[in-house]
A and B are shown apart, each in its own frame.
Chain A
Amino acid sequence: MIRRVRMSLLLLCLTLFGFTAGAAEPPKKILYIDSYHPDYLWSHDILAGIRGVLDSHNDIELSVFYLDTKRNKDEKFIQSVARQARQLIDSWHPDVVISADDNAAKYVVAPLYKDHPLPFVFCGLNWDAEAYGFPAENVTGMVEVCLVTELIETLSRFSTGSKVGYLASNTLSERKELENINKRFQLDFDERLVENFSQLKEAFLELQQNNDLILIQECRSVEGFDHEEMIAFVKNNTQVPTGAMQKYLVHYALVAFAKVGEEQGEFAARTALRILNGAEPSSIPVAENKRARIFLNTEIAHQLKIKFPIDLLEVSTFVNEGLFK
């Protein structure tokens, strides 16, 4: 009897030891390097998607590092934060690194860790990853594309023709955006790339004159841009269905097909988990985003006397309901 009790205690100790030994293994570390800053809505949505996946995994330790290159576009600054990111990687020893948006890929992943043993998952790269040599042996991820076709098809339900005007700020990224859209969809846009707010309003009015519908891209960065004024302007001056593909532009267009940052984050997180579970990054193909959030601007619709069909009503959000509902 005593011998049996002793054996039981020994087995229990061994079991507890084994369990403790297993639990004693350090959690897997995932480092998320965001190109922008926390308050940036897009960055916020991506991180929300990442957390939505990883929060259910207790064995994953997530660390976030912001390059803050949206507010600091100085090259030195960017290089400096890129080194900080490297130092963090070297000191913290993450098992997988998720990078969001182009600056992280440009300043950290591509120059420092491509074909490095450390796996990287990118997201938010606009349209094409090949510019950074991705995918690579240790790098895969999801590129960010705009749902141009779906937006044009929706707007077409309220337009009288198929001519499409294209309005955007005249910046490198918008130019590249337009280049990528054209390259991808090979559409014939009536393009207007503006520098300031006046040009913007002018181009907006001008494009309505020549097109049946208008795609409004990033234009807030133009000089002298005023949001309220812009809202009032479009409310009073929209004559054809307008569409946008960014959430921050929903107030300016009749319909907006906003990309979903959470989709980028969720994909990156799941891919990181697959890598942590043994998958090679090279075996995971680079993906594109598919989801969009539809916003309907009832003010502009009322201006245009457009009654949204019930199917669109069912899947969309009224802009004046609140963007973050």
Chain B
Amino acid sequence: MPGTLTKKLLLLIGGIFLLNLVVIMLIGTSKMSAVIDASKSTGYKEKLGEISRLLEEQDKRLRLTRMEEAYLKDFQTIALKSIAATFSQDGPELTSLYLIDRDGTVLFPDSPLDLPPELLHRILAAGQPGQENVSNSDGGKSWIIYRKFSPWNWTILYRLPYQVKYAALGAFKRTVLPLIVAVGGICLLLLYWLIKRQLQPIQHLTVAASAMAEGNYASTLPVLSNDEIGLLTRAFEKMRLKVHEQFGELRLKQEIFEKLTGSAKDGIIQLDHQGKVVFWNQAGTVIFGYSREEIMGADLYRLFPDTAPDQVRGLFPAFHESGYDHAGGGTLELEAVHKNGSRLFVELSLSSFELNGLMQSMAVVRDVTARKQEEERMALMSFAMERINELVFLVENSSRFQYVNEAACRALGYSRDDLLERRITDIDHGFPQEKWPEHWLELQDKESLDFETVLTRQDGSSFPVSILTNYFEFNRIGYSFALAVDISQQKQMEEERLQFERQLMQTQKLESLGVLAGGIAHDFNNLLAAIIGHSELTKRKLSPESAAVNNLNQIEQAAERAADLAKQMLAYSGRGKFVIEPINLNQLLEEMLHMLEVSISKKAVLRLHPYAQLPAIEADATQIRQVIMNLVINASEAIGEKSGIISITTGCMDCDESYLKNVWLNENLTGGLYVYLEIADTGCGIAKDILPRIFDPFFTTKFTGRGLGMSAVMGIIRGHNGAIKVYSEPGKGTTFKILLPASDKPAEIFNGNPQDEEWVGSGKVLLVDDEESVRGIGVEMLKELGFVCLTADNGREALEVYRREAGFTLVILDLTMPKMDGEQCFRELRVIDPEVKVIISSGYNEYEVSQKFIGKGISGFVQKPYKLSALRDAIKGIVDPDV
């Protein structure tokens, strides 16, 4: 039987049928027995009645004959025949009818009546009809019913064995039961057929449902009827088609899901409401090393045993309950442990959904170890990119910035967003937009360019940069990656280097020239000292009216010019006589004004613009006069034969170092208050090509000049730690601006005190000089001044003399000497006698000397070649300072 339902229905119906059959049989048998009893009783009463009526009829006919006795036997015979004929068709019951006469003789039939005598006697004696149940001799039972026919005193008796009486019941059982069974069987078969037929659509549905359960949704269901099952079939077919379609979609989605999850590089993990793994894709195995079978049902936390497990565990309860948590809305980076024990970094994204009333979680896990390392590298790179001092630009082919680093923003003064909206041409004003395509093509061609340009800040200021740009393509888009270095400092340093080099060269030149000039002047001064000294001593010895006096005067004048020349040379070399004292420049100019006016061209007008509150400067007034004189005369010569104005202006200004950088002679000048002297003319100006050379020694544009004037100016100013600015425009004029540090000391009245030529001292003086001529004239001058003079030609000898001859008032010490120079000799003398008074005598200026002996206790300085007056002043200041 194919269908369980059919089987069940048939079993049910069959069971019900059998139960009904048994009940029907039981009840039917009982009821039928009762009915049979009643029926038999009624029926046999009727039969007894009929037989009785038949007998009555015959008895009536007998009486009609009015010959009863004659006809009695005949009519009894007729009656018996009639009864036999009438009831002969009763079949087996015939033998059960008995007609018994009063004596108990059985008249009909021929067979005896097997009844107990008592019962027979009782029946024969009974006047009324009756029924009895009796036992048969064969052990069976019989039912008897009887009635008396009184006219003939006959008893009519029916005896029915139970099997006869209840033959119908037996027949019913024998006939009806098989019939019922047969009919029931047929009904069951019919039911089976009907059920099968009716359930055929259900079987089809079952088959289709089984097929659907096995995944086959393609089999079509025939609609065999329009009844409820047909409607069900149609609905099921509709459902099948829908399910087929939906399962197709579902299978497609499943396939897509499996391929998505299977091909996903990220681990996709589904967690149940307890945080147990219920789904695990291949990527999960690749990432963590656990197969799906190994991890299913496991706690997710085992993947993160050491990565703040409490933190990880704490994520899930609230997350599962609410579906929201910081873990659900974002991504966690956790350190996980691979099955093989290795560590890896994963990115864990959690999301939740409800499934069958329980919160489920989906964790998407991505192995970010490489990415994290890459990110760290990138972060490091980015960090480095943001931290480097170089300006980084990523520029697209439209010249628009794609990326700028912090240094670029900082250097240009733009915010990053502001800068990213601009183009390279917005910050490189020297790079017009129309040249960009050409630049781009060149960059594409060469792939790398190295150039310098000037970038403009947001505030309009600019700075030079050196740019190294590289061309590359990313995602088929060309980019220029430029690394710019602010070379302002480099430029400045370069400039400064150049300046330094120039200055160095100038210095070296000056040094070399100074050394040369100094050497010449030194020797020259020694010679001139002898000439002048001897000339003066000769004149002392001659009478004033002697004709030789004039010659001696000429010799002295020539020697003095030569001394001036030597002084110029020393001034250029910075080693000229240098008597530093606070002076008022305005006052100095006032004193020189007349001399200046007579020195310049008559067509030139000299105008003086003194600044009233001019601070003093610490300077050598002689050299400053020389500077003023040189510059004014040059201005006059620049004006030449034309009319012009020479303006002399003084003032003071605060100069910072940057201002001082663009000056001549910047040798570590420090910022501060400076007094300036500006001498401007409206002359021909200086051509730019010769402007750098105007301070070179022996460079002159004049036919008569020696080319040492401007060199001397520069040397003097350099010697005063000052600076020179030159502004010149050919055809319009030139301005020289002399900057000299302002002094905080008040200016001394430069009054040119009259020399006390009559002063004479006393004591013993040690004159130390390697130059014999100097020692000679020196001894002579010291004698003139009242001193006893001992000499030494080097420092060592001087020490010996000083130790041997005590009581020296002072020591006049040359610096440059063989064996032991003046500096070492001074230190030794101080060792011998800390109170020793030493006057340094040198061709170098005082400043230079004081720099060497600063704080070391020298008592004075006299620059060679010195006159008697200069020597007297130097000694007088030591021996008799109160005078």
Task: Give the B-binding residues of A (Cβ under 8 A).
Answer: 1, 298, 301-302, 307-308, 310, 313-314, 318, 320-321
Q: Find out whether the CB atom of A302 lies under 8 angstroms from the CB atom of B78.
A: no
Is A318's CB under 8 angstroms from B77's CB?
Answer: no
* B67 and A302 contacting across the interface, CB-CB below 8 Å: yes
A321–B64 CB distance below 8 A: yes
Q: Say whether B70 faces chain A, with CB atoms less than 8 Å apart.
A: yes
Say which residue of B61, B70, B223, B224 sits within 8 Å of A318 (CB atoms): B61
CB distance from B60 to the nearest CB of A (A): 8
Which chain B residues border A302 with CB–CB below 8 Å? Answer: 65-67
A321 neighbours in B (Cβ, 8 Å): 60-61, 64
Contact across chains for B77 and A310 when beta carbons are under 8 A apart: yes
Q: Is B245 interfacial (CB 8 A cutoff)?
A: no
CB proximity of B370 to chain A, nearest CB, Å: 69
Q: Is the CB of B74 within 8 A of A298?
A: no
Please tell me if the beta carbons of A314 and B64 are within 8 angstroms of each other in the complex: no
Centre residue among B61, B78, B81, B82 by max chain A CB count within 10 A = B61
**Known A-B contacts A313-B75, A314-B81; A298 and B66 likewise in contact (beta carbons under 8 Å):** yes
Task: Tell me, yes or no, whether B71 is within 8 Å of chain A by CB.
Answer: yes
Tell me if B30 is interfacial: C-beta within 8 Å of chain A: no
Query: Would you mind naming 7 contact pairs between A and B with Cβ atoms under 8 Å apart?
Result: A1-B225, A302-B66, A307-B65, A307-B67, A307-B70, A318-B61, A321-B61
Asked if A298 and B65 make an inter-chain contact with CB atoms under 8 angstroms apart, the answer reads yes
B566: min CB distance to chain A, Å: 146
Tell me which residues across on chain B come within 8 A of A298, comparing CB atoms.
Answer: 64-66
The answer to whether A1 and B81 touch (CB under 8 A), given A313-B75, A318-B64, is: no
CB distance from B200 to the nearest CB of A (A): 12
Residues from chain A with a CB closer than 8 A to the CB of B65 are 298, 301-302, 307-308, 318
Within 8 A of A (CB), among B210-246: 223-225
In the bound complex, CA of A118 to CA of B776 (Å): 215
Q: Which residues of B contact A318 (CB under 8 A)?
A: 61, 64-65
CA distance A166 to B60 in the complex (A): 33
Residues of B near A308 (CB, < 8 A) are 65
B61-101 interface mask toward A, CB cutoff 8 Å, 1 = contact, 0 = none?
10011110011001101100110000000000000000000
Known: A302-B65, A318-B64. A1 touches B224 (CB 8 A): yes
Question: Residue on B with the closest CB to A316?
Answer: B61
Q: Chain A interface secondary structure, helix, strand, loop or mixed?
A: helix
In order of increasing CB-CB distance, the 8 nearest A-B pairs are A310-B74, A298-B64, A318-B64, A298-B65, A302-B66, A314-B78, A320-B64, A307-B70
Of A1, A301, A313, which one neighbours B74 at CB under 8 angstroms?
A313
A320 to B82, CA, bound (A): 20
CB < 8 Å neighbour of B71 from A1, A307, A314, A320: A307
Which residues of A sit under 8 angstroms from B225, Cβ to Cβ?
1
**Complex: chain B residue closest to A1, CB-CB:** B224
Most buried by A among B64, B70, B75, B82: B64
Contacts of B223 in A (CB 8 A): 1
Residues of A within 8 A of B66 (CB): 298, 302
Question: Which residues on the A side are within 8 Å of B82 (C-beta)?
Answer: 314
Closest to B223 in A: A1
Q: Which residues of A contact B224 (CB under 8 A)?
A: 1
Measured between beta carbons, the chain B residues less than 8 angstroms from A1 are: 223-225
- When C-beta atoms are compared, the residue in chain A nearest to B224 turns out to be A1
> A301–B65 Cα gap in the complex (Å)?
8
- Least CB separation from A2: chain B residue: B226
A23: min CB distance to chain B, Å? 31
Annotate B324-337 by CB proximity to A: 1 below 8 A, 0 otherwise. Answer: 00000000000000
A301 to B224 Cα, complex, angstroms: 87
A316 → chain B closest CB, angstroms: 10
Q: A residues within 8 A CB of B64?
A: 298, 318, 320-321
Given A298-B64, A307-B71, A313-B71, 5 extra CB contacts under 8 A: A1-B225, A302-B67, A314-B82, A320-B64, A321-B60
Point out the residues of chain B lying under 8 angstroms from A313, CB to CB.
61, 71, 74-75, 78
- Complex Cα spacing A153 to B78, Å: 23
Tell me which residues across on chain A come within 8 A of B60, comparing CB atoms. Answer: 321
Q: How far is the CA of A292 from the CA of B718 in the complex (A)?
A: 197
Residues of B within 8 A of A320 (CB): 64
Contact A310 B78 (CB under 8 A): yes
Least CB distance, B132 to chain A, in whole angstroms:
34
In the bound complex, residues from chain B placing their C-beta under 8 Å from that of A301 are 65
The docked-state distance in angstroms from the alpha carbon of A314 to that of B71 is 12
- B residues less than 8 Å from A307 (CB atoms): 65, 67, 70-71
Residues of A within 8 A of B61 (CB): 313, 318, 321
Measured CB to CB, the closest approach of chain A to B226, in angstroms, equals 8
CA of A313 to CA of B65, assembled, Å? 11
Name the distance in Å between A256's Cβ and chain B's nearest Cβ: 16
Give every chain A residue within 8 A of B77 (Cβ-Cβ). Answer: 310
Q: What are the residues of chain B within 8 A of A314 when measuring CB–CB?
A: 78, 81-82
A317's nearest neighbour on chain B, judged by CB, is B61
Which A-chain residue is minimally distant from B85 (CB atoms)? A314
Query: CB-nearest residue of chain A relative to B222?
Result: A1
B34-67 CB contact bits vs A (8 Å, 1 = yes)?
Answer: 0000000000000000000000000011001111
A1 to B230 CA separation, bound complex (whole angstroms): 12
- Bound complex: CA of A301 vs CA of B66, how far in Å? 10
Complex CA distance for A302 and B64, rounded to whole angstroms: 10
Q: How far is the CB of B156 from chain A (nearest CB, A)?
A: 21
Query: How far is A308 from B67 in the complex, measured between Cα atoms in Å?
Result: 11
Give the residues in chain A near B81, CB-CB below 8 Å: 314
A308 to B61, CA, bound (A): 12
With A and B bound together, what is the CA distance between A318 and B78 in angstroms?
14
Question: How distant is A303 from chain B, measured CB to nearest CB, in Å?
Answer: 10
Nearest-Cβ distance from residue B738 to partner chain A, whole angstroms: 130
Which residues from chain B contact A310 at a C-beta distance below 8 Å?
A: 74, 77-78
A324 to chain B, nearest CB (A): 15
Distance between Cα atoms of A321 and B75 in the complex (Å): 15
Give complex CA distance A37, B745 in Å: 196
What's the least CB distance linking B421 to chain A, in Å? 79
A101, B64: Cα distance in complex, Å:
36
Separation of A314 and B78 alpha carbons in the complex (Å)? 7
A194 to chain B, nearest CB (A): 30
Question: CB-nearest residue of chain B relative to A310?
Answer: B74
Shortest CB–CB separation between residue B319 and chain A, in angstroms?
59
Per the 8 Å Cβ criterion, residues 372-429 of B in contact with A are: none
**In whole Å, how far is B70's beta carbon from the nearest beta carbon of chain A?**
6
How distant is the Cα of A318 from the Cα of B74 in the complex, in angstroms?
A: 15
User: How long is the Cα–Cα vector from A185 to B537 in the complex, in angstroms?
Assistant: 247
Least CB separation from B65: chain A residue: A298
Chain B residue at smallest Cβ distance from A309 = B74
The residue among B67, B77, B224 with the most chain A CB atoms within 10 A of its own CB is: B67
Closest to B63 in A: A298
Please name the residue on chain B nearest to A325 by beta carbon.
Answer: B57
Query: Given the complex of chains A and B, what is the CA–CA distance between A307 and B81 in angstroms?
Result: 19
A320 nearest CB across to chain B (Å): 6
Q: Whole-angstrom distance between the alpha carbons of A25 and B71 in the complex? A: 60
Contacts of B70 in A (CB 8 A): 307
Q: Report the minimal beta-carbon distance from B56 to chain A, rounded to whole angstroms.
A: 12
Report the Cα distance A165→B66, complex, angstroms.
28
Distance, CA A162 to CA B74, complexed state (A): 28
For the complex, what is the distance from the CA of A301 to the CA of B71, rounded to whole Å?
A: 13
Chain A residues within an 8 Å CB radius of B75: 313
CB distance from B577 to the nearest CB of A (A): 144
How far apart sit A24 and B88, CA to CA, in the bound complex (Å)?
Answer: 46
Closest chain-B Cβ to A319's Cβ sits at a distance in Å of 9
B136 to chain A minimum Cβ distance, whole angstroms, is 36
CA distance A301 to B78 in the complex (A): 19
Bound Cα distance from A215 to B225, whole angstroms: 85
Distance A307 CA – B71 CA, assembled complex (angstroms): 8
In angstroms, Cα B62 to Cα A310, docked, is 12
669-702 of chain B: CB within 8 A of chain A: none
Please report the C-alpha to C-alpha distance between residue A320 and residue B66 in the assembled complex, in whole angstroms. Answer: 12
- Shortest CB-to-CB span from A181 to chain B, Å, is 31
Q: Contacts of B78 on A, CB cut-off 8 Å? A: 310, 313-314
B489-516 interface code vs A (CB 8 A; 1 in, 0 out): 0000000000000000000000000000
